[in-house]
Amino acid sequence: MIPKRRPLTPETKARLNYVVLILSTLATLVLYVLSAGPADLARKIGPKAYGRCTLYRLLASVAMTVASVNYVLAVRWPPPLPVPHHFAWPRWISTLIAGAIALPSGILLGRGMMDAGAETIIVKPEHTLYRGIYTKIRHPQAVGELPFWWVFAFALHSPFLVVYSLIWIPIFVLMCLAEERDLLIRYGQSYAAYRQRTGFMWPRRPPARV
């Protein structure tokens, strides 16, 4: 007779979710950085590097989606850490904070995706991100997407998630730097000049008039 398996305790589920959250976060970084290097990879395997990098980009999106699910599960099974499970104020205040963050971030993200077109997901040999909002900042999608981790955290009324979301700041910066490194390989001086006249994640201040 096969013995029945014991169901997982809430504590075990919380630990598993916490581990998967960390792994999915790191996987997002690794896969996106890999997706951002088609020109460098093309030196080794040729034009098929762009298709492979598109696959990496899609997998990075999957990893990020898994992390989002972990956020939701972290509310049901809070991690075994000395952090309050909920904020001291009412949930509606957290909802208002989430909305206040989401509105400008969503506008910026949508504008960046609209101006980028298919290049948001598909990695192409040609690079056309020099129009629209990209004439002001080089990474509007990253700037718009990053705050949504706090949107999720506040919408879920979770102090732990608000603190954990800080990890996404260096991750997004590293992903953007990886993109720029590869674009410099592809376009050399023309991209270097583009970097000189635009801001990284914030519009560059115009030179002072004498």
State residue 146's pLDDT score.
95
Task: Take residue 129 and report the two structure tokens written for it.
Answer: 């991100």
| Second CATH level (architecture) for the domain 10-197 | Up-down Bundle (1.20)
| Domain edges within the chain | 10-197
What confidence score (pLDDT) does residue 206 get? 63
**Longest pairwise C-alpha distance within the chain:** 89
Q: Does residue 73 carry a pLDDT above 80?
A: yes
* CA 145/CA 106 separation, integer angstroms: 8
Angle between helices 91-116 and 148-155 (to 10 degrees): 150
Q: Is 132 left (phi over 0), alpha (psi -120 to 50) or beta?
A: left
pLDDT of 69 reads 96
Write out pLDDT tens, residues 99-149.
999 999 999 988 888 877 666 556 666 665 567 888 889 899 999 999 999
Report yes or no: 151 and 98 within 8 Å, Cβ to Cβ: yes
The answer to whether residue 3 scores a pLDDT higher than 70 is no
Q: Residue 29: CB partners within 8 Å, gap ≥ 6?
A: 171, 174, 175
**Could you tell me where the beta strands, DSSP code E, fall in the chain?**
none
Q: What mean pLDDT comes out for the span 80-103?
A: 93
Task: Read off the pLDDT of residues 155-205 as tens digits, 9 standing for 90 and up.
Answer: 999 999 999 999 999 999 999 999 999 989 888 888 899 889 899 888 877
**What own/partner pairs with CB < 8 Å and gap ≥ 24 does 102-110 have?**
102/147, 102/148, 102/151, 105/143, 105/144, 105/145, 105/146, 105/147, 105/148, 105/151, 106/144, 106/148, 107/144, 108/133, 108/140, 108/143, 108/144, 109/140, 109/141, 109/144, 109/145, 109/148, 110/144
Query: Which run of H or of E encompasses 198?
Result: none
Question: Token match 């080794």: residue?
Answer: 44
pLDDT of 66 higher than 80 = yes
